[in-house]
Amino acid sequence: MVILIGDAETTVSQKYHHSDTDQMESKRQQKVGRQIQKDLGEIFQKDAQHLTSGSFITITAVRVTPDLGIARAYLSFLPDKNKNFLLQNIQENTRFIRTKLGERVRHQLRIVPHLQFYLDDTAEYAAKMDLLFSDLVIPPASAEEDEDTNS
């Protein structure tokens, strides 16, 4: 899976703030998403430590499709120098993670959703925007412009 991050592509932060149909998530989707987020956190802490190579992983969001068939998990890593390698490692072990998730949610869900993992670039995007704003050169307003705006 290729994750494209850049100016020409939609950022992950923009993707997960809107569902695929641009409608609000149902309460059920939100509840299932929160449960999966919690369970994935425990799985990465206890059962899948070998996948994260000692990095601190945060599941920033989990969005579930309306049919509850797919759960998209957005991850961030600290330190983030190996984030693409870590994400690829997690993606290659999705079956193992889904099995562990199934053990935890078997009494709440009939079908364990297929898992998709993405990098959450929200922090990078915010830092990039801060840098752009700090580089802006805005000349001070002249005295004539001040008078025009006050009139």
39-56: average pLDDT: 88
Label residue 143 by pLDDT band (50, 70, 90).
low
Q: Which residue has the tokens 């993405």?
A: 118
- Classify domain 29-136 by CATH number: 3.30.300.20
Say yes or no to pLDDT of 50 above 90: no
90-100: average pLDDT: 95
Contacts of 53-58 with C-beta under 8 Å, sequence gap 24+, read 53/82, 53/86, 53/89, 55/79, 55/82, 55/86, 57/86, 58/120
61: enclosing H helix or E strand: strand 56-64
94: enclosing H helix or E strand: helix 94-105
- The model carries a pTM of 0.69
pLDDT (0 to 100) of residue 16: 47
Name the residue ranges covered by the structural domains of the chain: 29-136
- Of these ranges, 23-27, 50-54, 84-88, 113-117, the one predicted with the greatest mean pLDDT is 113-117
